[in-house]
């Protein structure tokens, strides 16, 4: 296995707090509880790097992790979490939008969708939004360890239709399934878009 380093750099709320060293960034977005922080931990081989929780709404700020001193993985707060008061939900939405819009170092947004739940309108809106702003995206269909092969084939078809994309990788943070495919995609995108 390739040796790599990963460390937490900062939590941010607004553009003035974001890193300024122009290293390429990969963002993890999706509904609350879809598995963003868990996937980030698996991709970096570091269990407790990003905090995870069984109750939605764990990640409340934009968290930047520096990988191999070259790339930021950006863990975003989730959307679609009904139990959070409306004002806070709106503030999170603004925070995420404020990051995704006009973020020059952002090279790829990984949109996470729980494989047990068909994509919701909020996921569609997010995907349309990424397309509208020309942000390359990859859908990660998460928690595949929880469903059968047949269910997975069906989930892949539904996801492709609803989110209008062929860029989907099924994965599991529990078994590591799909990890290498996602890392390959990340490395391809970065190799094609060197910054600095
Ligand atoms: P927010 O920060 O609230 O937006 O959530 P998140 O998208 O970061 O989700 P998180 O990684 O915290 O995971 C939510 C729950 O799902 C946790 O209980 C995880 O252990 C569980 N989980 C995440 N990925 C997987 C997976 O691949 N398989 C299984 N079985 N459980 C998973
Ligand atoms: Mg999280």
Instruction: Report how far ligand 1's centroid is from the alpha carbon of 194 (Å).
Output: 31
Place of tokens 């296995």: 1
pLDDT tens-place string over residues 45-76:
998 898 888 887 777 889 999 999 999 999 99
Q: Would you give the end-to-end CA distance of the chain in angstroms?
A: 27
Diameter of the chain measured on Cα atoms: 47
Q: Which residues are in the CB-under-5-Å shell of ion ligand 2?
A: 36-37, 58-59
| CB-based contact 57:32 (threshold 8 Å) | yes
Q: Which residue has the tokens 């980030």?
A: 40
CB 62 within 8 A of CB 11: yes
Residue ID of nearest Cα to ligand 1 atom 32: 143
Residues 6+ apart with CB under 8 A from 28: 36, 37, 39, 40, 73, 74, 75, 76, 110, 112
Mark out the alpha helices in the chain (DSSP H runs).
36-43, 86-100, 121-132, 149-163, 179-192
* Ligand closest in space to the Cα of 79: 1
Q: Is 175 in the pocket of ligand 1 (CB under 6 A)?
A: no
pLDDT band at 138 (very low <50, low <70, confident <90, very high): very high
The rounded distance, in Å, linking the Cα atoms of 151 and 182 is 21
With a cut of 60, say whether residue 196 has pLDDT above it: no
41 lines ligand 1 (CB under 6 A): no
Range of weakest confidence among 3-12, 106-115, 147-156, 171-180: 3-12
Mean pLDDT across the chain, nearest whole number?
A: 91
**Across 161-176, average pLDDT:** 97
User: How many helical (H) and strand (E) elements, i.e. helices and strands, does the chain have?
Assistant: 5, 7
Q: Which among 192, 51, 9, 178 has a CA at the least distance from the CA of 108?
A: 192
């Amino acid at each position: 296995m390739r040796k790599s380093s990963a460390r937490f750099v900062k939590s941010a709320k607004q553009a003035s707090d974001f890193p300024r060293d122009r290293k390429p960034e990969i963002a993890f977005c999706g509904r609350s509880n879809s598995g963003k922080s868990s996937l980030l931990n698996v991709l970096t081989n570091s269990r407790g790097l990003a905090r995870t929780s069984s109750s939605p709404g764990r990640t409340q700020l934009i968290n930047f992790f520096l990988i191999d001193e070259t790339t930021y993985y950006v863990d975003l707060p989730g959307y679609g979490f009904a139990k959070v008061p409306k004002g806070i939900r709106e503030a999170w939405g603004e925070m995420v939008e404020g990051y995704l819009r006009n973020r020059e170092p952002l090279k790829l947004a990984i949109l996470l969708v729980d494989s047990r739940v068909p994509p919701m309108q909020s996921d569609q809106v997010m995907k349309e939004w990424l397309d509208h702003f020309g942000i390359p995206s990859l859908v990660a269909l998460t928690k595949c360890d929880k469903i059968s092969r047949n269910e997975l084939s069906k989930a892949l078809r539904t996801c492709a239709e609803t989110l209008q994309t062929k860029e989907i990788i099924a994965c599991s943070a529990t078994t590591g399934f799909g990890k290498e495919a996602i890392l390959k995609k990340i490395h391809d995108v970065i190799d094609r878009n060197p910054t600095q």
